[in-house]
Structure 1
Amino acid sequence: MSPERRYAEEAGVLMAGLGLPPAAGKLFGWLMICEPAAQTSGQLVEQLGLSKGSVSTNMRLLENVGMVRRVPAPGRRGHAYQVAPDTMMRVAADPTQFRRFRELMDRGVTLAGGEDASRADRLRVTRDFYAFLERELPKLVARFRSEYPSKGENDD
């Protein structure tokens, strides 16, 4: 097994620990290190030994959460997949996911009897944590971007 393939396998294990399917982690890991940066489904099947169905399903999942994007496949019909250099920053800076969790916890607090209800403790703490993330992560990403030296990479 090549070092690149081993890296993809390691990413699959790590991301499975975060609740993603191992195949999604392998695909993401591969797209972080592969050359060329854009890979077609066929290339991903060949390089990672995954089925076409697994590649299709997991690329759709990664695309839906904003971790990969479709790009034209140079010299071919169809598309390829790619990870932008700033993918994780864009995902982290999007307050939508945190707002949804905060709103869900808010509804739970109401359901549990309100702010002062003892069974709402877990919900309040979790809600407040997501409110904190919703408020602070975009600021941290902006700070990182302002401090990170630009190397002329295409971050689109």
Structure 2
Amino acid sequence: MSDKVDAVTPRDEDGVRRSVEHMAMMLADMGFPRMPSRVLMTMMSAEDTSLTAGDLAERLGVSAAAISGAVRYLMQMGFVVREPAPGSRRDRYRLPDQPWYGVTTAKRGFYGQFSDEADVVIEAAGGAATLAGERMVDMRDFFRFVEERVGGAMQRWQEQRPPRS
């Protein structure tokens, strides 16, 4: 999963760490848990294809327990895959191919389910003519719009995505 690195420009580890922390903070500000954000961005910026919990703890200056909870969360979300390390009792964690695409595709079904459930609330609230019904119709229509657009965007992404070596 490693892209070719410009051999002329040396890696700026301090710059990478600062940017990783900044991106993790941005994700946290959007509601993504802080430690999983830090772990995810650390893995995204690593030249290694996989890291152990110890590697991650060392890079982030945190305890193994903090890493354990973060990778468990990331695995549930589909951002990280756990694999056994051959000849060791430790696990290694890696990013799946196209993690952003995979997670977005997997979560896309939520929009339709949420929209369908909104129909139930609209009916139970007395219909679309009520204030609650009107709000729910607006929300339902938004999520249906997003579901439709996400599907098209995902298809266009696969069509235009440059091949990886």
Match of 1:81 among 89, 93, 96: 93
Q: CA deviation at 1:63?
A: 1.1
Match of 1:134 among 108, 122, 147: 147
Quote the residue 1:91 is aligned against.
Answer: 103
Mean Cα displacement is larger for which, 57-66 or 72-81?
72-81
Quote the residue 2:33 is aligned against.
Answer: 21
Q: CA deviation at 1:23?
A: 0.9
Match of 2:158 among 127, 141, 145: 145
Per-residue CA deviations over 1:5-27 (Å, capped at 9, x if unaligned) read 22221122111111122111111
Aligned residues: 152
Quote the residue 2:114 is aligned against.
Answer: 101
Query: Greater relative contact order (Cα 8 A, min sep 6): structure 1 or 2?
Result: 1
Mean Cα displacement is larger for which, 15-24 or 115-124?
115-124
Quote the residue 1:10 is aligned against.
Answer: 22
Q: Which amino acid aligns with 2:100?
A: M
Q: Which amino acid aligns with 1:70?
A: R
Q: Which runs of 5+ in 1 are unaligned?
A: none
- What SS does the aligned partner of 1:2 have? helix
Per-residue CA deviations over 1:40-71 (Å, capped at 9, x if unaligned) read 11111111012222211121111111122223
Q: CA deviation at 1:110?
A: 2.4
Distance 1:80 1:150 in 2: 26
Quote the residue 2:53 is aligned against.
Answer: 41
Distance 1:99 1:50 in 2: 39
Q: CA deviation at 1:146?
A: 0.9
Distance 1:35 1:56 in 2: 21
Larger radius of gyration: 2
- Return closer, same or farther for 1:54/1:99 CA change in 2, 3 Å cut-off: farther
Distance 1:98 1:75 in 2: 43
- What SS does the aligned partner of 2:92 have? strand
Q: CA deviation at 1:136?
A: 2.6
Distance 1:74 1:36 in 2: 16
TM-score w.r.t. length of structure 1: 0.85
